[in-house]
Structure 1
């Protein structure tokens, strides 16, 4: 049964609403900062899995509208980013890039070790390492022909997709507990309590949103996306490839640091409409991603997958808790970045942002974290990962 794009989009809205309701009713979800769309998205995923296993009914979703929501979210992050915040993030950004590259090597060495212990080709561990986990589904698909045709790992695609799929779930559940542990143990709190960049803090009373402010927010988000398209096209002519969401982020940053100098109207940065639009966009995106997972597709490679992911989960959790937190400054921002790293280490950029959003909604905003993490995961990781993967292939082929 194929659900069309319009139906999928509306179902995702209902799934997000269900996640919000469950979070408001179940204190444990709030206590461990589990992102709202994760709770309900996984519930729908389990229902569709049960339908497939017990009733031989396969439900699939058309995700055509999903990526546009991600562009809105990152444009909203960019509109909240002035140069003062970006300058403050310069050194931490460089540190996080270097440390993340180091983690890529650890992740692949861990995968190689587990694969070798199970009597498998060591390169299977690379597929179950930074190819599928830090890289995600896109990197897995891109590298599968190399592992299948050149390296002789016939089921590399199945293993990679399975690891990326389960890793997305694990990373969604990892970030909140990491942040809670750090914030509680070190008694951390934000330096300034502000309106969140994304969403609304838990327990906030309903407030009116000005009609023209909402229209202005949507207008400037669309202008950011248009500018992002121009940036991506210009870079393509220079043989530089960047994801559109990163270009939209850059476009919004350019706008928010130039337009207010001569535009005297209400600028959306820091506004409640922008926070809500970004929250809904990310929430619906993640709900669609999780509810569309087809868990039954990984049954044939369940053994190696479980072994690889158990080791990788332990590595990522410990690394975020004890390394990322320390090198990023041991403060509240560092705790939020650690939660985000839990997302990118096994999942994807949207998962990292959802983890940080859940933490910020409970404890308070962390502006630099919302700039640093997507730049690392959306730009530097892809470039560095390709080099690291190629190096491991040369070592273990």
Structure 2
């Protein structure tokens, strides 16, 4: 026996569930302490309740998710519109080093997942779902790639596996970054250098002022997002014609990057939405509703038999991330206080997401002192370069092992 909500009803239910997640995160300190995203808080609660309904009464509630994929395209296009080449180059040598380390770690994380899954007698691609697809990629990337694992590679419960790994990864990411920085700072007796924390905070406050949202700026943002999606669709069709098969959301990301680095230079008089509040709002709402719709529609009973293997894969990933951060990232990034703070951020996005990385670094900086370089390079890598590197590596692994 089953009930399906149509697309319009699903969209409105997702809005209510997202609002519930915001309320839960304000009311339950543990959720905010571990930086659990609002859609995850309420979306998982709903899917657990629906699993209980299925288990007790045999009623299966499902949702029409036609709106979901469009929201994902908006989110990745918003990332691309903020990716000005001049800003990316401002990170200099530390940025280049961290990008290279991240690329190496993406490969290592996927090899770890594939290896553990193979040892447990599972389809090796289950390990890929427990690798950079869900951990370094986070919920957005996990949900974006999971349908391909299900439709092309025959892993029917790919979405549930990916979301379970991404959610537990957030908790692990929150646990690994701070302790690693504390260990490195204490072991090597590290201290911050440069300007005082008060000066950094004052400059941050002064630099944070952006234009307020009005009807005109909001419409401009929607227009350029739509142009990015159009460019992404053109790129997608060209790649399809040439035999390549990148997902649409990656093409939307590239399309937005091309537009934001060409149009403002050719037509400098046009107001541009990059770094604007309107773009941030569209991005936040799109991702929030997208994640909520995806999470509340999970069918948890389909992965009950994989609970043990998933935990085994995540334990291995936790150990590998910790060792790589302490013995490789810290060494390459300079073995100083800044490197220790970067390590706390790397642990955050290697297993979780950019907000977790920033939360880890902020906690360390509040206790030990400012780390200017870390707060420049880590957000650039985790918020932009990770998505491009991850898409290329995942595609390559699917070609080799799919």
What TM-score does the superposition give when structure 1 sets the normalisation length? Answer: 0.76
What corresponds to 1:379 in structure 2?
392
Contact kept in structure 1, 2:130 and 2:314, CA below 8 Å: no
Change (3 A) 1:7 1:173: farther
1:220 aligned to 2:229?
no
Among 339, 346, 368, the residue aligned to 2:348: 339
**Structure 1 unaligned runs (5+)?**
116-121, 146-156, 196-200, 344-351, 391-397
Q: How many residues align?
A: 348
1:166 aligned to 2:164?
yes
Contact kept in structure 1, 2:344 and 2:361, CA below 8 Å: no
Secondary structure of the 1:60 match is strand
Range moving further from structure 2, 210-219 or 101-110: 101-110
2: distance between equivalents of 1:20 and 1:266?
32
Deviation of 1:294 (Å): 0.7
1:290 aligned to 2:299?
no
What corresponds to 1:47 in structure 2?
49
What corresponds to 2:110 in structure 1?
104
Contact kept in structure 2, 1:35 and 1:355, CA below 8 Å: no
What corresponds to 2:31 in structure 1?
29
What corresponds to 2:240 in structure 1?
236
2: distance between equivalents of 1:4 and 1:159?
22
Change (3 A) 1:321 1:20: farther
Range moving further from structure 2, 89-98 or 66-75: 89-98
1: distance between equivalents of 2:204 and 2:391?
26
**Structure 2 unaligned runs (5+)?**
134-141, 186-190, 334-338, 366-374
Secondary structure of the 2:244 match is coil
Deviation of 1:358 (Å): 7.3
Range moving further from structure 2, 75-84 or 330-339: 330-339
1: distance between equivalents of 2:59 and 2:362?
38
Deviation of 1:208 (Å): 5.3
Range moving further from structure 2, 87-96 or 176-185: 176-185
CA displacement 1:259-283 (0-9 Å, x = unmatched): 2222323211111111111111111
2: distance between equivalents of 1:132 and 1:367?
24
Deviation of 1:243 (Å): 1.3
Contact kept in structure 1, 2:110 and 2:131, CA below 8 Å: no
CA displacement 1:207-256 (0-9 Å, x = unmatched): 95222111111111111111111112222222222111111111111122
1: distance between equivalents of 2:290 and 2:247?
16
Secondary structure of the 1:312 match is helix
Change (3 A) 1:245 1:353: farther
Deviation of 1:143 (Å): 5.7
Change (3 A) 1:14 1:324: farther
What TM-score does the superposition give when structure 2 sets the normalisation length? Answer: 0.75
Contact kept in structure 2, 1:340 and 1:373, CA below 8 Å: no
1:311 aligned to 2:320?
no
Contact kept in structure 2, 1:81 and 1:256, CA below 8 Å: yes
Deviation of 1:354 (Å): 6.9
Secondary structure of the 1:258 match is helix
Deviation of 1:56 (Å): 2.4
1: distance between equivalents of 2:294 and 2:172?
17
CA displacement 1:33-90 (0-9 Å, x = unmatched): 1111100101111111121122222110111111111111111111111113434455
Secondary structure of the 1:2 match is strand
2: distance between equivalents of 1:75 and 1:254?
11
After superposition, the CA RMSD in angstroms is 3.3
Change (3 A) 1:308 1:66: same
Secondary structure of the 2:293 match is helix
1:1-397 pair list within 5 angstroms? 1-87=3-89, 88=91, 89-113=95-119, 115=120, 122=121, 124=122, 126-130=124-128, 133-135=131-133, 137-142=146-151, 144=153, 157=155, 163-181=161-179, 209-261=213-265, 262-299=267-304, 302=305, 305-324=306-325, 326-327=328-329, 329=333, 330=339, 332=341, 335-343=344-352, 352=353, 366-387=379-400, 389=401
